[in-house]
Copies of this chain bind each other. A is one copy, B any other.
Amino acid sequence: MRITISDVAALAKVSTATVSYVLNDSNRVSKKTRERVLWAVEELGYQPNALAQGLVKDQTRNIALVIPDTAESVFSDPFFPELLKGIGTLVAREGYFLLLSLMSAAEDFSSILSTMISQRRVDGVILASTPRDSEVVTQVRHGKLPFTIIGPCFLSDVHSIDIDNEEGAYRAAKHLIELGHRQIGYVTGDMRFDYAVQRYRGFQRALEQEGLSSSHVYMGDATPLSGQRGAKYLIESDQGITAIACASDMVAYGVMTTARDLGYRVPADLSVIGFDDISLAQQSEVKLTTIRQPISRLGYLASENLIARLKQRNKKIEPTRQIIETELVVRDSTAPPSNVRGD
């Protein structure tokens, strides 16, 4: 049998109430008694039972991380581990625990999710990489728990945090234009996700602003494979494309390998720019120019937002939508096009 508060109380020769007061709100107890209690706690190695504590306080100190991604992309993309790192850091520091809920693992995800919420297994929820029109958001909202969304979100009364995808992609395209490129291709991500749509829009805006054609586009799905196909398609369509912007680094990776296979040197014959700045991008033979998004920071801030609200309990905090800026990181995969260089 485990050590309970009664064992401590007996050893310290006080009631369980006193022990509890010492442990929670210690200035109500005399110094002498408090020390005796703390000694007993130490002596027995007492730790309060989280369930009993939670039952009376109506809190679990658990936070759910929900990834309702239908695709495998969460798993092949290093996005997820990075995010987890940021979330895990703050959650651990604040004395919370992380309950992981992966859609891909479950036959009936929505029932598992609602079970988790209505059984009160968590105090709050972090929602990441939700596809557009996902009913998961509705469901979580219905659970009446505080929750924070990481990624695009168009609901006004919801706390969310995201990077500026549109602006990021705009900067990427702008960078290529400033290098002198005029025929620029684009390989999209999975357009069922809003981030992919937003990035595509940023690309488009930059090109149209300069009066360039933004029609060299391949619809991909965020995998390296779609990058390979995209590169093949764009290069072989033979419209003199000298640069390809990509919706993600993984896509850019695929683009680069195929470009090389087709005899194009990067960046001499073809400039490639990615989006994300995953660590792999710095380990490829041609270091990828990309748009850095602070993924783990995103996770950190989301947990911070959620935990702050959990601490307040009743006091309402006004819903916020935080947008984190991205950053252009110039490495080796982009250069002026050969005709410009020649001049």
Contact = CB atoms under 8 A, between A and B. Distances in A.
A304 interface: no
Interface stretch (A11-19, A196-204, A213-221, A222-230): A222-230
A308 interface: no
Contact of A47 (B47, B74, B118): B118
B118 A106 contact: no
A107 to B, nearest CB: 7
Interface string A92-135: 11000111111011110000100110111100000000000000
A284 interface: yes
Please give the count of copies of this chain that the complex contains: 2
Interface stretch (A30-38, A80-88, A238-246, A327-335): A80-88
Interface in A214-269: 223-225, 228, 254, 257-258, 260-261
A48 B119 contact: yes
A75 interface: yes
Contact of A280 (B45, B224, B261): B224
A91 interface: yes
Contact of A88 (B87, B100, B279): B100
A81 B88 contact: no
A123 B66 CA distance: 21
Contacts of A65: 100
A29 interface: no
A120 B97 CA distance: 12
A50 B64 CA distance: 15
Interface in A287-334: none
Interface stretch (A52-60, A153-161, A169-177, A182-190): A52-60
A10 interface: no
A120 B284 contact: no
A116 B47 CA distance: 10
Contacts of A93: 106-107
Given A91-B105, A224-B283, A258-B285, A51 B60 contact: yes
Contacts of A341: none
A6 interface: no
A283 B228 contact: yes
A2 interface: yes
14 contacts: A47-B118, A50-B121, A51-B120, A62-B121, A75-B78, A75-B82, A76-B280, A80-B81, A81-B81, A84-B100, A89-B106, A99-B100, A224-B283, A258-B285
B75 A81 contact: yes
Given A62-B99, A99-B97, A99-B99, A223 B283 contact: yes
A2 B105 contact: no
Given A47-B119, A49-B120, A105 B89 contact: yes
Contact of A115 (B47, B104, B224, B279): B47
Given A76-B279, A97-B99, A228-B283, A106 B88 contact: yes
Contacts of A105: 84-85, 87-89, 91-92
B279 A257 contact: no
Contacts of A88: 100, 102, 104-106
A121 B97 CA distance: 9
Contacts of A45: 118
